[in-house]
Amino acid sequence: LIDSAIAARQDSAVTNIPQAPSIITRDFVFDYLIVGAGFSGSVIAERLATQSGKKVLVVDKRNHIGGNAYDHYDEHGVLVHRYGPHIFHTNSREVFEYLSQFTQWRSYEHRVLASIDGQLLPIPINLDTINKLYGMNLNSFQVEDFYKSLAQPREYIRTSEDVVVSKVGQELYEKFFRGYTRKQWGLDPSELDKSVIARIPTRTNRDDRYFTDTYQAMPLHGFTRMFEKMLNHPNIKVMLNTDYQEIEKAIPCREMVYTGPVDEFFDYRFGKLPYRSLDFKHETHNKEVFQSAPVINYPNEQLYTRVTEFKYLTGQEHSKTSIVYEFPKALGDPYYPVPRPENQEVYKQYKALADATPGVYFVGRLATYKYYNMDQCVAQALSVYKQIPVRA
Ligand code: FAD
Ligand code: UDP
């Protein structure tokens, strides 16, 4: 449209016909097109709009904002996370203070049990886990010696198997990690980067919290309310149910921030990057409490990896309770980049291409192919925003 209008104007100039005042100009309606309304896209949109006075169009192909952190009230009125349990935790004061502009918080420390040999035991493995599993009564010093007696030291810690076996030996590795990881990733821990299982520490004390970060809290009214506040600004327009490719030609923007899968952006030029997916099976039960912990992991039984009961996370009081089962799968919506060296090699090629693509910023878990938690996405987005040379 714009090109033909300009061509028509040029034609009229050549033939000396007086020009009608044109209503179509090359001025951009939006400065930035932001692809994806998850943490990464929403943070950058908020910063560009409020700090730099830029006009921003956020598009998401889903029918809601919030990306994978989206939560909503289900048909029974229970607040649930559509894409599995999301627990906020961070050591970054900057990230916590930034998000605190858009939400109040409810203090929440996450705890997880693992179903092992017919018992429900604390994971990360701690002193109580070992005492219950083996019917012992060790103290912290003794359990440290116990781990040492089981550990099989390895010269190099390269894979996720190395991480566990070198610390606590083969048996605990088999009971707690091997089966879960094979289910979750479709790969043996020996085929996965050490960083994956290194997310889970081993403890000699009785601390049974899943995370030990300084800030651990849930948005008081849920993640989606928080995103609504972030995006509620006259300079921000949100368009849902829209793939950016449907509108990028019709609505020109000066620059783009892209938070979708990086390989898709480049039409899989270097092949597909594997992203692990999940099926979520949501259920509501006609009782107040379903299980004895917010999350129960099933390393060795069942086809699902874990079961989450949302009311523990949200603090909601309700006569019914809603839960979700997670069934891992290879294909489907991309949820997890798969950290292993061969994938990193392919990603490097995409990264080089991304770096050489002017006017497009690649941000977030899918676009930078990083197994990032929410807070890491916020930190990355804030840092990318600071690097954007914002023109007047
Ligand atoms: P996303 O949230 O994936 O957002 C990207 C958005 O881009 C999507 O909404 C997508 O629809 C949209 N999009 C993609 N392509 C296009 C296109 N072509 N056109 C338009 N829109 C497009 N983190 C934690 O800190 N704590 C947790 O407890 C936690 N639990 C998790 C549990 C699960 C099951 C999963 C999968 C993740 C979990 N995370 C957790 C990680 C967290 O979800 C991510 O770090 C964060 O949500 C990623 O934000 P993002 O904006 O980068 O990506
Ligand atoms: N893991 C495991 N057993 C468990 C919990 C975790 O083997 O009981 C491994 C598994 O490989 C998992 C990884 O540790 O994918 C990271 O766990 P986390 O709970 O951080 O996964 P996420 O919440 O990101 O799905």
Is residue 23 domain-resident?
Answer: no
Kindly report, residue by residue over 282-301, the tens digit of the pLDDT: 999 999 999 999 999 999 99
Q: Say whether both 36 and 170 belong to one domain.
A: no
Q: Report d(CA 314, CA 296) in Å as an integer.
A: 16
Q: Is the CB of 310 under 6 A from ligand 2?
A: no
Q: Report d(CA 155, CA 162) in Å as an integer.
A: 9
Q: Is the CB of 167 under 6 A from ligand 1?
A: no
The atom number, within ligand 1, closest to the CA of 84 reads 34
The total of structural domains in the chain comes to: 2
The atom number, within ligand 1, closest to the CA of 87 reads 28
Q: Say whether both 187 and 218 belong to one domain.
A: no
CB atoms within 10 A of CB 191: 17
Is residue 15 domain-resident?
Answer: no
pLDDT < 70: residue spans in the chain: 1-26, 391-392
Is residue 353 domain-resident?
Answer: yes
In this structure, the residue with its CA closest to atom 41 of ligand 1 is 373
CB atoms within 10 A of CB 231: 22
Q: What is the CATH number of the domain that holds 97?
A: 3.40.50.720
- Boundary residue ending a domain (163, 197, 231): 197
Length of the chain: 392
- Boundary residue ending a domain (162, 197, 232): 197
Q: Report d(CA 299, CA 294) in Å as an integer.
A: 16
Judged by DSSP in three states, 58 sits in: strand
Is residue 231 domain-resident?
Answer: yes
Phi, psi of 84, deg, nearest 5: 90, 170
Q: Is the CB of 177 under 6 A from ligand 2?
A: yes
Which run of H or E residues covers position 309? Answer: strand 306-309
- Tell me the residue range of the domain where 148 lies: 112-197
What does the block give as tokens for 335?
Answer: 């949820």
What pLDDT is recorded for position 390?
77
Is residue 265 domain-resident?
Answer: yes
Q: Say whether both 91 and 138 belong to one domain.
A: no
**Closest residue by Cα to residue 124 from 192, 69, 172:** 172
- The 215-219 sheet, strands edge to edge: 89-90, 215-219, 105-107
H helices present in 201-340, as ranges: 223-231, 244-247, 262-265, 310-314
Q: Tokens 């028509």 correspond to what residue? A: 8
Q: Say whether both 167 and 93 belong to one domain.
A: no
Q: Say whether both 164 and 81 belong to one domain.
A: no
The atom number, within ligand 1, closest to the CA of 376 reads 45
What pLDDT is recorded for position 259?
98
Cβ–Cβ under 8 Å, residues 49 and 173: no
Q: Say whether both 167 and 306 belong to one domain.
A: no
CB atoms within 10 A of CB 299: 22
Q: Report d(CA 351, CA 337) in Å as an integer.
A: 14
Ligand 1 centre distance from Cα of residue 36 (Å): 9
Q: Say whether both 306 and 325 belong to one domain.
A: yes
Q: Say whether both 239 and 288 belong to one domain.
A: yes
Is residue 277 domain-resident?
Answer: yes
ipTM over 0.90: yes
Q: Is the CB of 296 under 6 A from ligand 2?
A: no
In this structure, the residue with its CA closest to atom 18 of ligand 2 is 199
H helices present in 151-218, as ranges: 160-172, 179-185, 194-197
CB atoms within 10 A of CB 316: 16
Q: Say whether both 229 and 366 belong to one domain.
A: yes
Judged by DSSP in three states, 346 sits in: helix
Q: Is the CB of 347 under 6 A from ligand 1?
A: no
Q: Say whether both 255 and 314 belong to one domain.
A: yes
DSSP state of 198: T
Is residue 203 domain-resident?
Answer: no
Is residue 285 domain-resident?
Answer: yes
Handedness of CA 232, 369, 327, 181 (dihedral sign): negative
What does the block give as tokens for 238?
Answer: 């949100």
pTM of the model as a whole: 0.94
Q: Say whether both 105 and 162 belong to one domain.
A: no
Q: Say whether both 161 and 150 belong to one domain.
A: yes
Cβ–Cβ under 8 Å, residues 144 and 125: no
H helices present in the chain, as ranges: 2-14, 39-52, 93-100, 127-134, 140-150, 160-172, 179-185, 194-197, 223-231, 244-247, 262-265, 310-314, 341-355, 374-387
Q: Is the CB of 361 under 6 A from ligand 2?
A: no
What pLDDT is recorded for position 14?
43
Ligand 2 centre distance from Cα of residue 343 (Å): 19
What does the block give as tokens for 255?
Answer: 């620059």
What pLDDT is recorded for position 309?
98
What pLDDT is recorded for position 10?
43
The atom number, within ligand 1, closest to the CA of 90 reads 25
Report whether the peptide linkage leading into residue 124 is cis, meaning its omega lies within 30 degrees of zero.
yes
**Distance (Å) of CA 69 to CA 1, 42, 199, 314:** 38, 12, 20, 13
What pLDDT is recorded for position 19?
55
